Amino acid sequence: MNDSPSIHSVGRESRADPIPLFANEADSFVQQLRLAAQAHRAGRLDEAISSYLRLLAIRPYHAELHNNLGVALRLIGKLEASVSHHRLSLSSDPNNPALHSNLGNALRAAGRLDQAVKHHFQSIALNRDYGEGFFNLALCLRDLGRIDEAVGCLGRALALNPDNRRARTELAIALMMRGELEVGFAAYEARKRLPETPRVEFSQPAWDGGEISGKRILLYPEQGLSDVLLFVRFARELKRRGAVVIVLCQALLKDLLAGTDYVDHAVAEGEKLPAFDVHASLVSLPHLCRADFTALSVPYLQAPKESRIKLGHLEKAKLRIGIYWAAMPGQPQDRQRSAPFPQFLALAGDPELLVFSLQGGAHQRDIPQSGAGGLMHDVGRGIFDFAEAATALAQLDLLISIDAPIAHLGGAMGLPTWVLLPLAADWRWQLGGTRAPWYPSTRFFRQPRAGDWDQVFTSVRDALEVMKGEVSPR
């Protein structure tokens, strides 16, 4: 994807060919456009957008200006406006492969995958050597579940540009989605060369997967909460091999991880680190530990013995279920991952279900705003870290959640967990099917089409009827 303005190269890998300036541009206009692009590249998107809009009043049909504005608007989540600007850009220069590809990027971000694929195909039809076009097409095909085609396009992108680090990383993800976990995780080490991958500044060496007995190893978080919850399981293997295991983690996870028998020290980010000999990213552990993905044991996380969280009962309720419906604002693809609250609210009208909301953040307001205070119990307001979340989950019969850290916690604890997934699901949930090797107790409900939550919840309600039939009232 092209996350940079197009008028000249940027300090990181570009994802679409630069679009040439028109030869007859006035020097003053070109200079102002360059200044706007500098603000864009520096991440000052509001400033860049304001500058682009002023210039647009002067040159309303300038293809490059519409393109750059479309890219900037996509980056701040103004997706429909982004699509419209890219369409205007393309109307002024319809045979430009980069403009087709950038429109495809905006359509993909807006969830209109079929339209996006058409424009990406057009980009490579116009230029069969356009590596970025093959790369962007591959991402769309992967989102649609057309993994074999995506792998082929990524191979073509790498043949045209062998140094495309992002293509190598995305190829690794496609392989993991296809179930080729051993090869995929080895290839996924390429992500460490991407500019957005955090750089560690430890004087101690990185662990290379060799002998670890008697050594103190620091495991650090590279990505988000979900990856810590997913990959900390491999710390148990390091402990089995005789290592002293130190886990650096987000503060929300410290008490939960400190309660495990395979973590010797859990340290919150910002706290002083104890002495250690080697270090490794938690995300690299499946590769470094040479994991057997057919024999991943669960549970490996558990609730503390004591907690302030106590869930009640109702006489007619057969099942106590927890729900989580909205991704935290600002996270990538949060719109696609989040499910409509009214769909969850409909579940609360069943007297055989006792519903507890585990939702955190701003979306906790969905409950009072929908008049649902008497239909579900808002436990999320009393949960301040994942140790407390674990104590709530330990008292449930079922968790129904979107793709969120709480779903990984439920799976790691062995709790029956139903994960509701968009069509373009994260690679950690693999491609198709209702299961993944990480969590045997977890079941997936996938959108058959982009944005189709109705079918997902129809399947959820059917499954709940079956589950209720298998239990007796408390």
**At residue 474, does pLDDT exceed 70?**
no
The residue ranking higher by pLDDT, 297 or 345, is 345
pLDDT tens-digit series, residues 407-421: 999 999 999 999 999
Q: What is the mean pLDDT of residues 58-81?
A: 94
pLDDT, the chain, mean? 91
Determine the pLDDT at residue 20: 42
pLDDT tens-digit series, residues 314-361: 888 999 999 999 998 765 567 789 999 999 999 999 999 999 999 998
The residue ranking higher by pLDDT, 34 or 1, is 34
**At residue 232, does pLDDT exceed 50?**
yes
**At residue 18, does pLDDT exceed 60?**
no
**At residue 73, does pLDDT exceed 50?**
yes
Determine the pLDDT at residue 471: 84
Determine the pLDDT at residue 366: 96
Q: What is the mean pLDDT of residues 280-301?
A: 95
Determine the pLDDT at residue 13: 32
Paired with 248 in beta bridges are 267
Distance CA(97)–CA(373), nearest Å, equals: 53
Q: What is the mean pLDDT of residues 217-221?
A: 97
| Closest to 98 measured CA to CA, from 62, 140, 76, 127 | 127
* Distances 116 to 83, 100, 104, 143, 230 between C-alpha atoms, Å: 10, 9, 4, 11, 32
Determine the pLDDT at residue 216: 98
**At residue 444, does pLDDT exceed 60?**
yes
Distance CA(258)–CA(261), nearest Å, equals: 8
Determine the pLDDT at residue 26: 57
Determine the pLDDT at residue 22: 45
pLDDT tens-digit series, residues 256-265: 999 999 999 9
Query: pTM to 2 decimals?
Result: 0.89
Distance CA(262)–CA(277), nearest Å, equals: 18
Residue 79 has, within 13 A of its CA and on its CB side, a CA count of 14
Residue type, 150: A
pLDDT tens-digit series, residues 119-136: 999 999 999 999 999 999
Where do the domains of the chain lie, and which CATH numbers do they carry?
27-193 (1.25.40.10), 216-288 (3.40.50), 319-469 (3.40.50.2000)
